[in-house]
Structure 1
Amino acid sequence: MRQLSELDASFLYLESETAPMHIGGVYLFDASERKEPLPFSTFVAYLRSRLHVVPVFRQRLKEIPLRLGRPYWIDDPNFSIERHLAYVNLGNQGRKEGLTALASRILEEPLKRDRPLWHITFVDGFRLDESNPDSEGFALIVKLHHAAIDAFSGEEIIGKLLEYTPEPRSISAPKPWTPKPQPSEERVVLQAGANILRTPLQFTSLAVSAAEATARGLIHKQLRKLPLPFPLFSAPHSPFNRQITGNREIVSASVELSRLKSVKASLGDVTLNDVVLGLCAETLKRYMIRQGADTERSLVAMTPISVRSNSLRRATGNQMSAMLLELATNEPDPARRIRKIHWNAVASEPYREAIAADRLTELLPSTMLALSARLYSELQVAQRYQPVFNMPITNVPGPQVPLYLQGARLVQQYNTAPLFDSMGLVIVAVSYQGNLTINFTLCPDVVADGQSLADDIEDSLTAIEEAAHSLEPWDQSDETPVLAPQSLSEEALTALEKVLKGALSRFRL
């Protein structure tokens, strides 16, 4: 048995009907170099032969009775690869619009908990070039639960499943696999009891879960009276921070990495990640202006940071920190904005030495974090007060060499991330083979006219390039010092500390 970390388990408890917690991907393959289209049966045989490189593909959750602790990953004795695969032929709808519409519907559905938490849809009949009938390829729509991977490990898994040579390798027979015996209920309960003795705060989590139904009304009544003057709730109101529905839309646009690197060289002491964030900021600002939203205050992004080390590296699970970063969207010059983003980032200690998000989940059990998140949604904190942040933005470096699947070249990928309540937009930027694709996962009932975000990418980059060439050398002494951003865990702990102090002062009275 391998127990989920608190951070991994929190994604299970955060899941709801309108907020499935899986990471998705749409991968487009060019099969024109193959002698014949890739049959679905060949793909199944290929994937079956590669299952051993991703053990979590054959592991399912083992829940603890009465939620006495976090679930475990155990081998699925009833594993069948067919339960995780589907086949779709687009036929006359084999265009990008049809594919993204199909992917949106598939990604709206949560993964089933009675089996390993992944699913792949093989999409046949897809045309890479609509004007060329011979440009047929295929696509894969992939779903992996956030409890099992983060965006960085997800990219590693895809790299392990695919090939680095255009020559199709012979598909070998699957390696023998025998599931380890399923642990007895008695062993699971005993292990949970031992964990409670080691971490007493877990018992508090159980009490909170047990009393949740009766206490929620009282909690609502009391918390609605709080002014919530915490620094944590300091992001401005925006069109992106409203209650979400279960509908999803995928919008993407690609640019050449060389153009971003040229901007980086022109601006001097900034990173490529700063330029990516600056491109997202300019695009978001243009959207907000069209929507008539207030742009006087800067948007705040939550930017995950991988804390994977080379010496201790797991292929799965969440190994991230997170920081809150102002995007300087109130700065009119798009090139100077990138410098300000860099200035805001390097002033933050977590940027240089990331504080693992486990710091927070070690102190607060995942069930309590999930309760807090639900209350955040039900109390409509983002609407009644101010949101914690406006949207997550993740920049994932991908391979710069071509990847293949049985001789079919991967030409494009679109990556999605889960939406949270009151968070109707998330951005994932992934680089591959000299291009950067910026992916917007959005709730169309919150973010209207989402396609305009993709349409703005090219104009935003052009504006940044023009401004970068005319910008004067950067004198950092001219910058107004800003308060160093805290990591997300530090912000949350500060807020919780104030709540506890207020509660204790009332008891003293």
Structure 2
Amino acid sequence: MRQLSELDASFLYLESETTPMHIGGIYLFDAGECDRPLAFSTFVAYLRSRLHVVPVFRQRLREIPLRLGRPYWIDDTEFSLERHLAYVNMGEHGQKANLMTLASRILEQPLKKDRPLWHITFVDGFRLGEDNTGNEGFALIVKLHHAAIDAFSGEEIIGKLLEYTPEPRPITPPRPWSPRPRPSEERVMLQAGANILRTPLQVTSLAANAIEATTRGLIQKQLRKLPLPLPLFSAPHSPFNRQITANRQIVAASVELSRLKTIKATLGDVTLNDVVLGLCAETLRRYLISEGAGSGKSLVAMTPISVRSNSLRKATGNQMSAMLLDLATNEANPAQRIRRIHWNAVASEPYREAIAADRLTELLPSTMLALSARLYSELQIAQRYRPLFNLPITNVPGPQVPLYLQGARLVQQYNTAPLFDSMGLVIVAVSYEGRLTLNFTLCPDVVANGDALQAHVAESLDAIEDAAHRLGTEGAAEPAPATATQSLADDAMAVMEGLLKRAMRRFRA
């Protein structure tokens, strides 16, 4: 048995009917150079032969009785590949717009927890052209639960499943696989007891679980009266931070990576990631202005940082740090804004030395984690107070060489990330073969006119290029005062500490 980390388990506890916690991918393949289109049966055989490279594909969750600890990954003794696959033929409706609508509907649905947490839909009849006249192809719509992977390891998994040559790899018989027997109740309880002895604080989960039913109403009543430490919640109110529904929309825009590298070279002492964040910031600023929602206050993003290269403990799971970054959207000059983003980032502790995101949850037993997640949503804390940040932005470097699947070339990929309470928009930037794609996952009931984001990206890049050309490298040595950029872990721990202190004083009273 392999136990989930505190961070991995938190994605399970945050999941609800309106907030499925899986990462999504839409992969478009051009089969024009193939002798014949890839049949669904061939894809199934190919995937079956590659299952051994992704062990988590055949592992399911095993909960601990009474929630004495975090769940474990165990081999699925009843694993069936067919339970994780679906086939759709678009027929005469194979345009890209229809595919994205189909993907949005599929990605709205949570994964079933009685099996390994992934699913792939094979879409046949897809045409690469906008008017159904382009090359024949197919698409894959992939769902992988965030408890099993992060955005960085998700790219690694896709890279392992695909091929780096247009010559189709021979489909070999699947490697023999014998699942480990399902652990007995006694084994699970012994393991949970051993974990409690190693981490005495988790003993409190026994009491919390036993009295949860009777005290939950009292906890809710008291927490409603608590004045949360508002200075820590420094992000402004924005249209993105409202209660979300189950509806999802995917909007994407691609730009040449070379244009971003030219901006980086022109501005001097900034990174390519700073330029990507600057492009996101300018896009968001233009969107807010067009919607009449510009407040003049700077948006705050949560930006994950992968620590996978520094901590190769396992091939999947979540190995990230995170920092809160002021996007300087109150700066009018989009080129100068990129410099301010850079200065804000380098002034933060996580930028210089990654702080594992496990710090967010490592001090809490699993029962309290689950209860905290539910109360956060049910008490509508994010609606009643200013948000900790306005949206997450993740930049995932992808391969710059073409990938193939049985001779069909991957021409475009779109990636989505989960939304959660009062976070109606998330951006995932992924580069592939010389292009960067900004992927906007949004709730259309919260983010109106989301389709406009695509045009704003193109306009923003033009504006940044023009401003960078005029600004050049002048003033690069004179950093503006860094705005408040804090560790997400430090903020969260401080908030929780303040809540606990106030709660204890009220309960004593």
Regarding TM over 0.5, the answer is yes
1:126 lines up with 2:115 in the alignment: no
Within 5 Å, give how 1:47-86 maps onto structure 2.
47-86=47-86
> In structure 2, what is the equivalent of residue 429 of structure 1?
429
Cα distance in 1 between the residues matched to 2:257 and 2:366: 38
Paired residue type of 2:157: I
Cα distance in 1 between the residues matched to 2:369 and 2:100: 33
- Say if 1:479 and 1:134 are closer, same or farther in 2 by CA, change over 3 A: closer
> In structure 1, what is the equivalent of residue 101 of structure 2?
101
Deviation at 1:83, TM superposition (A): 0.5
CA contact (8 A) 2:425 2:447 kept: yes
Paired residue type of 2:381: V
> In structure 2, what is the equivalent of residue 296 of structure 1?
296
Cα distance in 2 between the residues matched to 1:434 and 1:366: 43
Cα distance in 1 between the residues matched to 2:493 and 2:43: 47
Within 5 Å, give how 1:494-505 maps onto structure 2.
494-505=494-505
Within 5 Å, give how 1:280-319 maps onto structure 2.
280-309=280-309, 312-319=312-319
Larger mean CA deviation between 496-505 and 58-67 belongs to: 496-505
SS of the residue corresponding to residue 232 of structure 2 reads: coil
Paired residue type of 1:395: N
Within 5 Å, give how 1:236-251 maps onto structure 2.
236-251=236-251
SS of the residue corresponding to residue 362 of structure 2 reads: helix
Deviation at 1:368, TM superposition (A): 2.5
RMSD over aligned CA atoms reads 1.7
- How many residues in Structure 1 have an aligned counterpart in Structure 2? 509
Paired residue type of 1:357: A
Larger mean CA deviation between 495-504 and 417-426 belongs to: 495-504
SS of the residue corresponding to residue 345 of structure 1 reads: helix
Deviation at 1:475, TM superposition (A): 3.3
Deviation at 1:224, TM superposition (A): 2.4
CA contact (8 A) 2:345 2:351 kept: yes
CA contact (8 A) 1:241 1:422 kept: yes
1:381 lines up with 2:363 in the alignment: no
> In structure 1, what is the equivalent of residue 398 of structure 2?
398
1:189 lines up with 2:189 in the alignment: yes
> In structure 1, what is the equivalent of residue 34 of structure 2?
34
TM-score, normalization: structure 2? 0.97
> In structure 2, what is the equivalent of residue 363 of structure 1?
363
Paired residue type of 1:44: V
Describe the superposition over 1:447-485 as per-residue Cα deviations: whole angstroms up to 9, x where unpaired.
111111112110010000000001154436754423552
1:225 lines up with 2:221 in the alignment: no
- Say if 1:174 and 1:391 are closer, same or farther in 2 by CA, change over 3 A: same
Deviation at 1:385, TM superposition (A): 1.6
SS of the residue corresponding to residue 266 of structure 1 reads: helix
SS of the residue corresponding to residue 221 of structure 2 reads: helix
CA contact (8 A) 2:104 2:248 kept: yes
Paired residue type of 1:48: R
Larger mean CA deviation between 227-236 and 296-305 belongs to: 227-236
TM-score, normalization: structure 1? 0.97
Cα distance in 1 between the residues matched to 2:422 and 2:490: 21
Larger mean CA deviation between 61-70 and 385-394 belongs to: 61-70
Cα distance in 2 between the residues matched to 1:364 and 1:474: 49
Cα distance in 2 between the residues matched to 1:43 and 1:328: 46
**Percent sequence identity over aligned pairs:** 79
CA contact (8 A) 2:51 2:57 kept: yes
> In structure 1, what is the equivalent of residue 89 of structure 2?
89
Cα distance in 2 between the residues matched to 1:472 and 1:165: 41
> In structure 2, what is the equivalent of residue 490 of structure 1?
490
CA contact (8 A) 1:230 1:495 kept: no
Larger mean CA deviation between 63-72 and 365-374 belongs to: 365-374
- Say if 1:352 and 1:75 are closer, same or farther in 2 by CA, change over 3 A: same
SS of the residue corresponding to residue 361 of structure 2 reads: helix
Deviation at 1:202, TM superposition (A): 1.7
Cα distance in 1 between the residues matched to 2:445 and 2:483: 35
> In structure 2, what is the equivalent of residue 413 of structure 1?
413
Describe the superposition over 1:406-453 as per-residue Cα deviations: whole angstroms up to 9, x where unpaired.
000000000000000111011100000000000000111111111111
Deviation at 1:193, TM superposition (A): 1.1
Describe the superposition over 1:17-63 as per-residue Cα deviations: whole angstroms up to 9, x where unpaired.
00001000000000001010000000000000000000000111111
Describe the superposition over 1:98-132 as per-residue Cα deviations: whole angstroms up to 9, x where unpaired.
10111111111111111111000000000001346
Deviation at 1:204, TM superposition (A): 2.1
Describe the superposition over 1:177-201 as per-residue Cα deviations: whole angstroms up to 9, x where unpaired.
1111111111101110111121122
Larger mean CA deviation between 359-368 and 434-443 belongs to: 359-368
- Say if 1:499 and 1:446 are closer, same or farther in 2 by CA, change over 3 A: same
> In structure 1, what is the equivalent of residue 449 of structure 2?
449
SS of the residue corresponding to residue 493 of structure 1 reads: helix
SS of the residue corresponding to residue 275 of structure 2 reads: helix
Larger mean CA deviation between 401-410 and 192-201 belongs to: 192-201
Larger mean CA deviation between 350-359 and 403-412 belongs to: 350-359
Deviation at 1:391, TM superposition (A): 0.5
